[in-house]
Chains A and B, each alone.
Chain A
């Protein structure tokens, strides 16, 4: 069955700490990978995406993610988090050319000022 697994449900960090959020997927065929962010009280918005090419993709606000095909992983990273990064982060997968996106359960990040 198609699935997306996010390893951490809650993460608490201090400002300037480094961040890595894990994401593994189970999906047949070629995939498109996404990270979405949901700030408190707001809707989901795209953080970054991978369709093809360089497996290291850079998104907004200093975030990046690396697609490792052999590990079926797409982990999100940021070298130094800020208080404003407090949000919920969702990993998502779509099969290339398909329409249905599978979302992970989300990871709630809280950054202490």
Chain B
């Protein structure tokens, strides 16, 4: 199994630009989570999906952030427009349908907004 796949692994962009982060969950998993990790705030849950449906997006910091899961094998997290304070490592994780299960994390996307 390839595990959770994220792309790009690194992204450097200028303030105001649109950023799109991509995630492919483990095949057969139907829960998907987006996290943000910074030194100041630690690991924060942004949004999670179950069966491609957003269940809880209360962690999304503001309207500049949006996430989609058009099918079971793909999700995107978009920031538009990006700001320097969005600089962080963004992790995607997936877990199986039974709930309460182990989450498997991707390698993360390290985002730097200048």
Do the two chains belong together in a single complex? yes
Stretch at the interface among B13-21, B63-71, B75-83, B103-111: B103-111
For window 15-66 of B, CB contacts with A under 8 Å fall at 31, 33, 42-43, 45, 48, 50, 55-56
A101 with B45: in contact, given A43-B106, A44-B105 (CB under 8 Å)? yes
A94 within 8 A of B: yes
- Contact A97/B100 with A43-B91, A43-B108, A45-B105 known, Cβ cut-off 8 Å: yes
| Complex CA distance for A97 and B95, rounded to whole angstroms | 12
For residue A105, CB closer than 8 A to chain B, the reply is yes
**A24-67 interface mask toward B, CB cutoff 8 Å, 1 = contact, 0 = none?**
00000000101010000011111001010000000000000000
Q: On chain A, which size bracket covers the interface?
A: 20 to 34
Interface string of B87-114 (1 = CB under 8 A from A): 0000101010011111111111000000
Cβ contacts under 8 Å, A96 to chain B? 99-100
Which label, helix, strand, loop or mixed, suits the secondary structure of the B interface?
strand
B43, B45, B93, B102: the one within 8 Å of A49 (CB): B102
Count: A-B pairs, CB below 8 Å:
55
- Look across to chain B and name the residue whose beta carbon is closest to the beta carbon of A44: B105
A102 / chain B contacts, CB cutoff of 8 Å: 45
C-alpha spacing A42/B9, complex, angstroms: 12
Interface positions of B (Cβ within 8 A of A)? 31, 33, 42-43, 45, 48, 50, 55-56, 91, 93, 95, 98-108
Q: Told that A51-B100, A94-B101, A105-B43 touch, could you supply 19 new A-B pairs with CB distance under 8 A? A: A32-B101, A36-B105, A42-B107, A43-B108, A44-B43, A44-B91, A44-B103, A46-B102, A94-B100, A95-B100, A96-B99, A97-B98, A98-B99, A99-B50, A99-B99, A100-B55, A103-B42, A103-B43, A105-B42
